[in-house]
Amino acid sequence: VQLQASGGGLVQPGDSLRISCAASSASGDAFNGFAMGWFRQAPGKDREFVAGISWNGGTTYYRDTVRGRFVISKDNAKQALYLELNRLNLDDSAIYFCAASGPRMGPLNSRSLYIYWGQGTQVTVSS
């Protein structure tokens, strides 16, 4: 499975942005069974969990600082993952990475759940 994130950019505080992650795999059915997540990493900081979604989209989980502002969604037909970022603030600036669980199971916010990682997309919030 290969993942490619896109859609990042430079925005102002309070703005909204939607980033995407396109998946390519030999088996689309396999992708449909994967939980997926978004992580982010700011300069000088560890990579941190942002949001996760179960294989069928029925369960989502967010870190406290983005809950109510960010929305994660998954389109199995398009093999795509999305993250809608609303009311952005300076602390949201980071490189955002998408990840897929593969056949593993576990908590959506656990980094060890995810075995496939995409290259990141930069989100910069600046006034």
Q: Who's near 120: CB < 8 A, 6+ residues apart?
A: 5, 8, 41, 95, 96, 97
User: Is 5 a residue whose pLDDT tops 70?
Assistant: yes
Pairing relationship of beta strands 121-125 and 9-11 according to DSSP bridges? parallel
Sheet bearing 70-75, strands edge to edge: 2-6, 17-24, 80-85, 70-75
Per-chain mean pLDDT for the chain: 93
What pLDDT, on a 0 to 100 scale, did the predictor assign at position 33? 86
Task: Give residue 1's pLDDT band: very low, low, confident or very high (50, 70, 90).
Answer: confident
Q: What is the pLDDT of residues 19-55, one digit of tens each?
A: 999 998 766 566 788 999 999 999 999 999 999 999 9
- 11 in helix, strand or coil? strand
Distances (CA, A) of 55 to 17, 25, 78, 102, 112: 24, 15, 14, 10, 16
